[in-house]
Structure 1
Amino acid sequence: MRPGGAAEVAKQQRAIETRSQIINAAAQVFAASGYVSTSLNEIVRVADVTQGALYFHFGSKSELAAEVIRLQHAKSIGAGARHLDEQDSGIAGMVLLSGALANQILNDPVVRAGLRLSTEAVAEMAEAAQLPYEEWASTAKRFLEKARALGETRADLDLDAAAEVVSSLFTGTQFVSVATTGGSDLLERLARMWKVVLPGMVSDPEHWAILRASELIETTALEAA
């Protein structure tokens, strides 16, 4: 290693750790207070860093909020890809994914903050806020396409419309749960949602994923614990 190389590596590592501290602190504050009510001074306090350190990594509150949304999006999309690959049933995979996303919301401050920020999108981060919703609808459609290929969906089902409905219902369900019970009944609400929605989408109203929706969602809860 060249002279001073070890010191440079240590400096870079400290910068990475400081950036992570700032993001995690911002997620906690954004999740609790929302975008408008959050101040950079509060994030600096929670992160236990200087204002200079924060501005070294992020030029503004909106830039920091957009990064939280980006990280939330990456985590959610990663979960979608795993369940799409692992499940033999497109319908069951979609139910399992909703449980996995619910557990991220309940247990990961970055995910909670990213979703809250997406609903409070101000003009300067509107583009970042739209992406998670667009991708969730796109992911739902991929599961439905897999389900159709397996003969699980009604032949006349409009996959684009169904994916949009699934995305909107999931979003609304998680927001109502968080607003009314702090998310404590989110998994139960999701199971009820699927039992109401899926019979109108599948070719067999007795599809096992409908009958076992609660069990499938609870499975993801146990895996995430």
Structure 2
Amino acid sequence: MSEPRKFAHRAINDTLLTRESWKIFQIMAEFTEGFEQLSQIKPSVSIFGSSRTQPGHPHYQLAEDIARALSDAGFAIVSGGGPGVMEAVNKGASAGKSPSIGLNIILPHEQVANTYQDISLNFRHFFSRKVMFVKYASAYVILPGGFGTLDELAEILTLIQTGKTRRIPVILVHSPFWQGLLEWLKNTLVPEGMINAEDLELFKLLDNVQDVVDAIFNHYEYHGVGPQADDRGILL
């Protein structure tokens, strides 16, 4: 009978430990700069979508039009700062009346900051960047995208569901793209008891620019603008 396999523990290299400890200051710097830059810019809407969507694609134009309309309505616009839908978002916002903000992530490939940003912040860490998307957002607007877009969607729905951030509008744009996801949530996760049927009310599927703008304003007419006083201790 063979011996059970065991993981070989190695001594911690002091040089590596020191290098890892210094990353704490890098992370702190990202949070500090983000808080200082974004805390003065309210209200804002965070808009997401694929980095691979090309100019001329209907989703690119839709993102640009939504960002322009929300910017003209008084919302600062926050995107991931890169190409594709993110570029379209910043382009539309920069043509509007409110600030255009990009939260760029430093990657070995794909992500290059677009040129339509009034405020551009660079992040090495996804988790600090994600906090900035959520903390100051009055709404989330999510266009078709890949893993990164789905990650942002899951993040905000989890935070709202668990009461870690206030209830804000979460709008999925272009319902044909999202319909399959909605059916899976409704027909698999709800019957399995993994989410409640009421959780499907945490987001809306919409298709045109004015409906997105109206949904955000209607939400705040019904729910009010800010969190309740006894909620503030647990909110991001």
Per the TM superposition, whether the score is higher than 0.5 is no
For normalisation by structure 1, the TM-score amounts to 0.31
Flag the structure with higher strand content. 2
Flag the structure with higher helix content. 1
For normalisation by structure 2, the TM-score amounts to 0.30
